[in-house]
Amino acid sequence: MTRLIVLSDVHGNAVALAAIRKAIRIEKPDLVAVAGDLVLNGPDPAGAVDLLREMEAEGAAITSGNTDIAVADFDYAAAFPWMADGVPDIFRAGAEWAHDALGDERISWLRRLPSERRLRAEDGTMILVCHASPGSQTSGFDKELDPNVVIERAGRTDARVIACGHTHIPEIRDLGWKLIVNDGSAGYIFDGEPTASWARIDIDDATGEISAEIRRTEFDALAVANAISARGLPGDVYRAATVRTGKLVR
C-alpha cells in the first residue's frame, strides 16, 4: 500500500498548517505533497514557509500556486488572469505585505518551487500534484465547471491521480479513467466549516485500486482571524471573517 497525503492553500496560516502536520504524522504516509498557494492572506507567511521547508526536508513535494506568483514577483496578470478590469488594491496590499514579511531568503525559496510535481506509487501509478489543474495554476476544477471542460483539463496529463486545490472546496471526482482529488484548503476554506482540510489517498500496490478521502483538522480559527484583523491591511476585515466562518467573505 502506498499512502499519499495532499494539502494545499495554506495561505499564510501557520497555525492551521502546524495542526495538519501533527495530524498527518498519525497516518504514517509514504508521500506528502503540498499543492501551492502558500503565503497570501494569512497573518504568518514566514511561519508557514518555515514549517513547509521543514516538511520539504522530510521529503514533502511542494509546488507553487498562482498567489505565490503574486507575492514573489507582483505579476498580478499571471496570478489573477480572470481579473480583466485590474487587480483590486486589497490584493496588491496583501501581496506586498507578505513579500516584505517573508524577506529575501524565503522569497528565493518560494520562487524556485515548481508548478507541478509527478510522484509514483510503488506499483508505478503516477500522481500529478498541481495547484489548479494539469498545466495551469489558475484554471481549476470548479464544481460548476462544464463536464466536457473537466474531461479536457484532466486529459492534459497521463497521471492516474490528479491532486490539486485552488477552489478551496474539498471534493473527490472519480472519472473512471482518472481520479481528481481536490483537498480543499489547509488554512482558508470556503465550504462553511472553519477547519483545515486535506486529503488521504491510498493505492493498493497489488491490485492498483485507489481510494481517497477528505480529512478535517481543527485549529484556533478565532485566534488566526484576530491576528489578521490586528494587522489592519485593506481587506483584512473580509479575510478575518473568511477564516472565522469558513466561508468566502468579500
Task: Give the pLDDT confidence score for residue 24 in this predicted structure.
Answer: 96
- Looking at domain 2-245, its CATH superfamily turns out to be Metallo-dependent phosphatases (3.60.21.10)
Residue 52 pLDDT > 90: yes
> In whole numbers, what is the pLDDT of the chain averaged over residues?
97
With 80 as the cut, is the pLDDT of residue 193 above it?
Answer: yes
Name the residue type at position 169: I
Locate 81 and state its grid cell: 488572469
pLDDT of residue 206: 87
> So what's the pLDDT on residue 85?
82
Please give the model's pTM, rounded to 2 decimal places: 0.95
Q: Which residues contact 136 (CB under 8 A, 6 or more apart)?
A: 130, 153
Q: What digits encode the pLDDT tens for the residues 77-101?
A: 999 999 978 889 999 999 999 999 9
Q: Is 144 helix (H, G, I), strand (E, B) or coil?
A: coil
Mean pLDDT of 40-46: 98
Task: Characterise 118 by phi-psi region: left (phi > 0), alpha (psi -120 to 50), beta (else).
Answer: beta
